[in-house]
A and B are shown apart, each in its own frame.
Chain A
Amino acid sequence: MIAPFSHVLALAAVVFTLGAYCAVARRNLIMMVLGVEIMINAACIALVGASLRWGSLEGQSFVLFILAVAATEVSVGLAIIVYAFRRAGSFDPDAYNSLK
């Protein structure tokens, strides 16, 4: 007996909120991508807990694929961020205004 399943879901909800705050409130592209990572991590916690709750491996295999997709997202995202930094010289999303 570890803990009620609802406590795992509550932990995932709190971590997801922190990630959403990081992605929305920070004005730095790197912090925004990190916020997305935190949210993905919260989803992984919920999936692993659900996998244990119902005794099925479906949730764990989902987390495996989420890890692969997160790694892809980060590598492409960081490459785009570095390219944008070279062009605009800043990480602030407000600096990308060459269409004005």
Chain B
Amino acid sequence: MTLYGFLFYIVAAIIIGSTAMAVTRRNLVHVVIYLVLSFFGTAMLFYLLGAPMLAVLEVIIYAGAIMVLFLFVIMMIRVDSLEEVIPPFRQRLPAMLLGGLYLGCALLMARGTPGAGASLPLLTASPKELALYVFGEHWFTIELVSLLLLAALMGVLNLGRMKADEAGKEKSA
């Protein structure tokens, strides 16, 4: 096993471990911190798989922007309202069985995919190559994404403008 292969398995273990810790914690702040660790691991994996631009974007957008947005929302609301009901084991059992079934099928498919046994080459796509490809082949999708972001901005502004008392009035009406 080469050094890069060794690094791959370490990073994979970090990602799976921190994600598993995140989905089982009760405290939402801990969940977000574990997920930041998981996204940093994903960024390292992207770098290892030859996507340095996406690795940087993963850190900036996912770990930097999205997780901080979650932290803001968690800190905005009352802490005592976070009591969460954990369903009994009897209700979780079917979900666990189906999840295990899905995982088994997915792993079998990963093994059976054509060309899946081939070892990955050590290649890197520089940000320049990626940018030339994206703006050459997918310029229309870029425009669509910008429209989508604009629509989301307007929607969020509209939602945020509604006052709490307004909402309460609607509730009582």
Residues on A facing B (Cβ under 8 Å)? 1-22, 24-28, 30-31, 33-35, 37-38, 41, 44-45, 48-49, 51-53, 55, 57, 60-61, 63-65, 67-72, 74-76, 78-83, 85-87, 89-92, 98
Contacts of B116 in A (CB 8 A): 4-6, 9
Determine the distance from Cα of A48 to Cα of B77 in the docked complex, in whole angstroms.
36
Chain B, 30-57, CB within 8 A of any chain A CB: 31-32, 35, 38-39, 42, 45-46, 48-51, 53-54, 57
Known contacts being A13-B106, A68-B149, is A52 close to B160, with CB within 8 Å? no
Asked whether A51 lies within 8 Å of B51 as measured between CB atoms, the reply is: yes
B167 at the interface (CB under 8 A from A): yes
B90 at the interface (CB under 8 A from A): no
7 sample A-B contacts, Cβ–Cβ < 8 Å, listed by A number? A1-B121, A3-B119, A11-B12, A31-B28, A38-B35, A52-B121, A60-B130
Determine the distance from Cα of A69 to Cα of B66 in the docked complex, in whole angstroms.
12
Contact of A8 among B53, B81, B120, B149 (CB under 8 A): B120
Asked whether B115 lies within 8 Å of A53 as measured between CB atoms, the reply is: yes
- Closest chain A residue to B134 by CB distance? A61
Determine the distance from Cα of A25 to Cα of B31 in the docked complex, in whole angstroms.
15
Give the interface size class of chain B: 35 or more
Determine the distance from Cα of A84 to Cα of B54 in the docked complex, in whole angstroms.
34
- Closest chain A residue to B117 by CB distance? A4
Contacts of B159 in A (CB 8 A): 76, 79-80, 82-83
Known contacts being A25-B87, A60-B54, is A76 close to B155, with CB within 8 Å? yes
Asked whether A79 lies within 8 Å of B81 as measured between CB atoms, the reply is: no
Determine the distance from Cα of A74 to Cα of B159 in the docked complex, in whole angstroms.
14
Chain B, 130-173, CB within 8 A of any chain A CB: 130, 133-134, 137-138, 141, 145, 148-149, 152-153, 155-156, 159-160, 162, 164, 167-168, 170-171
- Closest chain B residue to A53 by CB distance? B120
Determine the distance from Cα of A92 to Cα of B67 in the docked complex, in whole angstroms.
21
Determine the distance from Cα of A31 to Cα of B23 in the docked complex, in whole angstroms.
8
Shortest A74–chain B CB gap in Å is 5
- Closest chain A residue to B5 by CB distance? A3
Contacts of A89 in B (CB 8 A): 81
Asked whether B31 lies within 8 Å of A79 as measured between CB atoms, the reply is: no
